[in-house]
Structure 1
Amino acid sequence: MDAPSPGKRAADAPKDPAGSGVRPWRGWGPVELVLFLANFSLALQRPLTTQYLWHRLGAEVGYNGTSRAGGCNDTADPKQQEVETMTSHWNLYIDLSSLFVGLFSATLLGPWSDRVGRRPLLVLSSFGLILQVIVYILVVILELHVGFLLLGRLLCAFLGDYNALLGTGFASVADISTPRTRTLRMAILEACLGISGMLASIAGGHWIKAQGYTNPFWLALAMLIAAMLYSAFVFRESVPNPHEASLFTLQHYRLIFQLFAAPSPGKSRKHLALYLLALFLVLTIHYGTWDIVVVYELSWPLCWGSDLIGYGSAAQHLSYLVGLVQLWACQLCLKDSWVAEISLAFNIVGMVVFSLSRTTALMFTGYGILSLSLVVTPVIRAKLSKLVNKTEQGALFSSIACVSGISMLSASGIFNSLYPATLNFMKGFPFLLGAFVLLIPAILIGVLEIFDPRPEYQQTLH
């Protein structure tokens, strides 16, 4: 991102209402680094938490066959199935504990950031994530009951959670980009997420194997502290004229209602609703498969250790970086919607391969196919962003954060319940179900593209 000239910065700076001549600090750093640091921490924590639950719950029932070195059985072990079921259920409880609080905070904080600026929300959400990691560290060090992990999620959700942080990052990109460049800019931001996740996954897998769970959690905490300090003192505010506004007011909820109810030039409630539905379905499959894939890899017949799990998680995050190159190349000859359709096709095939995977080679083949599958999310976010005004970006991305939260709940409820229920007849059935569900957003995006009457999404006819 090109640095604005001093003259432009002075013009964009908010005027001091008191006439003191003192302007608020606007900063100079891009938002991408905030998301890089925060996502590094989250990517380190996700498989770390699942593996901790697996080993902790396995110890409670007297099962330790968690890798080939540890004696993973070649047949279905009742104790292994019990640990798989308990781990899936605890993942569900942890996700449920934060959903409703997260929905309340996201809808409150997003429109608030349209007025006060993006910086306060970035700092607040980063602090919430810090509190969550502190609770997790205490659970690991003091061997507290795993139920305390729910407390960490609740504290984090009350202050916005990662969804609010992510939504604010995308809103900031929307603030400073043009409709023409917005899709690529959002893909660049997602590529930053992918690079950070890939690095965290590789490092975390080997680190857990060498030193256990405590030290990786400390690194996750350090990254979040760095993200909060960067947000507070370095990040360049993208809202041109931020001003003070009350946080606890119904006006913020009215702004979200008006986003879908109030007519305006170029805005289509039908398009907003259908694109959000498509995003909901894509994210539900995305979160759901991520919830169960580590348990799927830990158990028979794959019997992966923490190092292979780290490589697998890195391959998942590589999709963001590959998606950026894929989007840049495909935009030379295709419209965004058709690039998203290609992405969904790879996603469907990758899910089918996962459902049939019984060897490490086939599992990584699935990861390779899925590396071309994540272009769809930046395309949908960019299309939604183009449907609303500059002053509504925070409200829009808080709505997207709510959709993300609801999809996370749906994913946890469906996949963490379906996975243990289908172990006896087809272990990979949830992945196969995900492949079929992804046909729906593929149809929606294609129909919206074909029948969209607005010039922004149509080729010039003359």
Structure 2
Amino acid sequence: MALQAGVYLVVMYLKLPVVYFLVGRLLSGLSGDFNAILAGCFAYVADTSDRRSRTFRVAVLEAYTVSIRCLYSVLQCTELESLLIFTLSFRYINPFWLVLATNLASSLYAYLFVRESVPPDPSAKLLTSHHHKAVWHLYSTGGNGSEGSGGFHRCKLWLYTLCFFLVVTVHFGGRDLYVLYELSSPLCWGPALIGYGSAAQHLAYLSSLLGLKIMQYCLKDSWVALVGLASNITGLLVFSVADTTQLMFTGYGLCFLFMAATPVLRSKLSKLVDPSEQGQSVYVLTYMFKSVF
């Protein structure tokens, strides 16, 4: 991702044709892109946390991955009205310097201070189909998790994975629909209100994290997930009938726990597999997560 940002900067400073942006995307994609970061981080958290604290730690990580989006959405509130001027101005280059510096600093921190959770295997090969076969073996046999294996265990893996896919599809598949709905009649929102709505939607990640921590003191993880789903359902019902700005923001307020379900599902899946299989289950979730985007 640092290479991608570097290529983007070169293209912009030299005013090269837009097609050269593909070089940056190819370098990032061939290196794993955000998929590798997301899968590695979630697998690392699963490796280094105990079963009791895993759900909250996964929730913290999930909230952290979208914290920049929250900041970006807030900034949109003041920038969207001058989008054309902003696009043509030189300030568009400066964020890519920040992206480059952040990625380089993160890489250096990970290399120097993050202790490896899995002993390196000297016989491991870079180009191999073993990882894909391991994923298929995990979902066809049920894995070697501490909760047992066999048909029932395999069914739980598939059901949790299906639930995760459906929840994430609703969360991220409907994100752009909010903007289209807000632009159309009867709301007819302008750039400023769309920015505020996007900020409210993304701030729900942080409120979900806080609510998850509080609910874990008195509820089991499964009930926490159900509360999160109920929050999302009520918010969507309000969105479906919203014809005023006040009602639309009421829907955003009711969705304040809508992301509480996904970390629970991630945690449940990680508890169903052996520590050596954490990366395989996370790989599947990451692939599904990115496919929705």
Q: 2:105 matched to 1:233?
A: no
Q: Which residue of 2 aligns with 1:283?
A: 168
Aligned twin of 2:282: 397
Letter in structure 1 aligned against 2:99: L
- 1:53 matched to which residue of 2? none
Hey, what does 2:8 align to over in structure 1? 134
Partner residue of 2:97? 222
2: distance between equivalents of 1:330 and 1:384?
Answer: 20
- In 2, the alpha carbon distance for the partners of 1:149 and 1:305 equals 31
1:234 partner amino acid: Y
CA deviations 1:50-107 (Å, max 9, x no partner) are xxxxxxxxxxxxxxxxxxxxxxxxxxxxxxxxxxxxxxxxxxxxxxxxxxxxxxxxxx
Structure 1 pair 223–384 and aligned structure 2 pair: CA distance change class (3 A): farther
Aligned to 2:272: 387
Q: Which amino acid aligns with 1:285?
A: V
Which residue of structure 1 lines up, in the alignment, with residue 198 of structure 2? Answer: 313
State the distance in 1 between where 2:46 and 2:38 align.
12
User: Separation in 2 of the partners of 1:366 and 1:399?
Assistant: 32
Task: Give the drift of 1:220.
Answer: 4.4
Matched residues in 1 for 2:185 and 2:244: separation?
10
Of 336-345 and 293-302, the range deviating more from structure 2: 293-302
Q: After superposing the two structures, state which structure 1 stretch, 221-230 or 176-185, moved more.
A: 221-230
Distance apart, 1:332 and its partner CA: 1.1
Structure 2 match to 1:242: 120
Cα offset, 1:380, TM superposition: 0.3
CA shift, 1:394, in A, is 1.6
After TM superposition, give the deviation of residue 407 of structure 1 in Å: 3.6
Partner of residue 364 from structure 1, selected from 244, 249, 267: 249
Q: Look up the equivalent residue of 2:100 and give its one-letter code.
A: I
Matched, 1:212 2:86: yes
Q: Does the 8 A contact of 2:5 with 2:24 survive in 1?
A: no
Cα contact 1:276–1:400 (8 A) shared by 2: yes
Q: Using the TM superposition, give the Cα deviation of residue 399 of structure 1 relative to its aligned residue in structure 2, in angstroms.
A: 0.9
CA distance in 1, matches of 2:3, 2:156: 33
Structure 1: runs of 5+ lacking an equivalent: 1-125, 409-462
CA shift in 2, pair 1:356/1:216, >3 Å = farther
Deviation at 1:299, TM superposition (A): 3.2
* Counterpart-to-counterpart distance in 1, 2:155 and 2:249: 39
- The one-letter code of the counterpart of 1:394 is G
Kept in 2, the 8 Å contact 1:128–1:159? The answer is: no
Deviation at 1:335, TM superposition (A): 0.2
TM-superposed CA distance for 1:251, in Å, is 1.2
Instruction: Render the CA deviation track for 1:346-396: whole Å, top value 9, x for unaligned.
Output: 101111111222222111111111122110000000111111122222221
Task: Look up the match of 1:198.
Answer: 70
In the TM superposition, residue 193 of structure 1 has moved relative to its aligned partner by 3.2
- 8 Å Cα contact 1:130/1:221 also seen in 2: yes
Identity %, equivalent residues:
41
Q: 2: distance between equivalents of 1:344 and 1:259?
A: 28
TM-score (norm 2): 0.82
> Unaligned stretches of 5+ in structure 2?
none
- Paired residue total: 277
After TM superposition, list the pairs within 5 Å mapping 1:256-267 onto structure 2: 256-262=135-141, 263-264=143-144, 265-266=146-147, 267=149
2:57 alignment counterpart: 185
- Give a deviation string over 1:309-335, Cα, whole Å, max 9, x none: 222111111111111111111111110
Q: Classify 1:301/1:279 alpha carbon distance in 2 versus 1 (closer, same or farther; 3 Å).
A: same
Q: Which residue does 1:162 correspond to in 2?
A: 34
Match 1:252 to one of 118, 131, 136: 131
Change (3 A) 1:150 1:292: farther
